[in-house]
Every structure is written in structure tokens, then in C-alpha cells.
A and B are shown apart, each in its own frame.
Chain A
Amino acid sequence: MENNNGSSPDRKLQCSDVSKCFQLLERILDGELVEEGEEILQVKLDKCQPCFAHFHLEQAIREVLKTKCTKQPLPDKLAESIRQMIQDPR
């Protein structure tokens, strides 16, 4: 179980500023800190266990949302009826 968690003896077990770090990691995952993101990320993931775990959890959540919540099947003929409506606006 511990191994699955990716724990490493080099990482500290307590994060000194969880709120700030987690928000920063989320912004990096959202692609908002392109230039400085890579460097910050490397430090956080190498040195801090809570940041490491949070990053991987957030990454997993984004993956499952993207793969499991975007496949609502489009009703038959919706596209067709929209095209019809704009050709023949009442």
C-alpha cells in the first residue's frame, strides 16, 4: 500500500503551507503556469510527500472526469433539426 502511494524517504511528510502549495499545483495542472510550472513542480514532487500525493490525485481525477464524463450520446436528429431550424427560421 505504501509503495503504491509512491512514498520516498527523501520527501518530508508534512507540508508547511498546504493551502498555497495545493492551489499552485492545481494551477500547474490546469496549464496556467507554463513557464515557471515545470521547475516548481520538480521541487515539490521531489521534496514533499503531501504535494506528491495531491498532485497525483488531482491528475487522476482530471483523467477520470475527461474519460468518463464526456460521452453523453447526442440524441438522434438533434444536429439535423438544428440545421432545419436555421434554414427555416420562424
Chain B
Amino acid sequence: MSEVQRRKYSQEERSAVFDGEFMPHIDSMYNFAFRLTFDEDDAKDLVQDTYMKAFRFINSFEQGTNAKAWLFRILKNSFINDYRKRSKKPATVDYQEVETFYNSDDVDYQSTSDLRAESVRDMLGDEISNALNGLAVDFRTVIILADLEGFTYEEMSKILDIPIGTVRSRLHRARHLLKDILKGYAQSMGYGRYEEEE
């Protein structure tokens, strides 16, 4: 994961690593980029930049280690450094700074206790997708990494440069916020259906 140069690849080896270990993750990388930027062109640029950086720093990648986590880390850093700054949206509060003031006891479990698994399964793709997109970027990111991409807490800790305990608590809070949004949708499905049929 570090940027220390580990070895020098020959031209053929570079191509082999790039094609064999980096390119297979392009769909996941694009999906991640799109869910961070919400814009097809920005997502495309972000993925291109990430692959260019990966190629430039390929000597610091150790063959056989987790290429997907390595690439996701570069993409996340590029997003923070290059894209988040120039985003037209107002700056979001950096959750990391306020996170320490929260603890899990602040989560109001009662608020989502009547959301049912069946209602969630009945929801449309757009509703699920909008709920995920409605989360602040730091919360959205942990859900994407854990649930869409299947990274372990340890891998997430390395991708995000935060301790495992923070991964765990941020994920728990993110899931709670997501359930809160889904509960709103579930209620509107239940009570608002007749209006749509009109």
C-alpha cells in the first residue's frame, strides 16, 4: 500500500501487471467514481487519472498483493485532492473531525425499528440507489467499500487511512442513516401508493 518503490518492472512486466491485475477492476472503479462524483464525465476522468497514476507508480505495487484495494486507495485520494475541491457543491463538513464526538449510543434505534426486510426487498433500484446517494460522502464511501465491493474492515482502514475502530463505527452510523432514508421511502410506498395510481 505504501508508495515506496518495491522493485523495478520490465516493460513486459508492467504491461502484464497493468492488464492482468489492474484492468479487471475497471467496472468497480467506475462505479465507485460515479457514486462519488454523480457525474459521468467526472467519473470517467477520475478513473482515467487513477489508472495513469497507477501506471506511473507501478513500481510501488507488489505483484500478487491486493491490486483492487491499492487502486481504490489511489482513486479515493485523487477524488479528495482533485475533485472534491473543485466540486460546485458547497463543502461538506469533514465527518472525521466531528466523528469523535459521537458514539454508538447516540444512534436512535427506535427510529428505524419498524423498517422491514420485505419492504426493502420490494424497493426499486432507483430508490435504493437514491438512498445511498443521499448519504454524506464519508458515509457513502464506507457503504460502497463494504457492501458493494466486499472489502474487509482491514482493507477499508488502509484505503481510507483511518483506524479499524473508526471504520467500524462509521459503517454502523452510515447503515443507520441509510435505514432512516429507506424508512422514509417505505412509508411513502405504504401511504402514498394511491396517489401514484391516480
Contact = CB atoms under 8 A, between A and B. Distances in A.
**Tier of interface size on chain A:** 35 or more
Interface of A: 4-5, 18-19, 22-23, 26-27, 30-32, 50, 53, 56-66, 68-72, 74-75, 78-79, 81-83, 85-86, 89
Contacts, number: 110
Interface of B: 18, 23, 26-28, 30-31, 34-35, 40, 43-44, 47-48, 51-52, 55-56, 104-105, 107, 109, 113, 115-118, 120-121, 123, 125, 128-129, 132, 143-144, 146-148, 152-153, 168, 171-172, 175, 178-179, 182
A72 B48 contact: no
Given A60-B117, A61-B120, A82-B48, A69 B35 contact: yes
A10 B25 CA distance: 46
A4 B52 CA distance: 51
Contacts of B147: 61-62, 65-66
Contact of B125 (A22, A68, A74): A68
B121 A58 contact: no
Given A69-B35, A78-B26, 6 more contacts: A69-B128, A71-B31, A72-B43, A74-B30, A78-B47, A89-B56
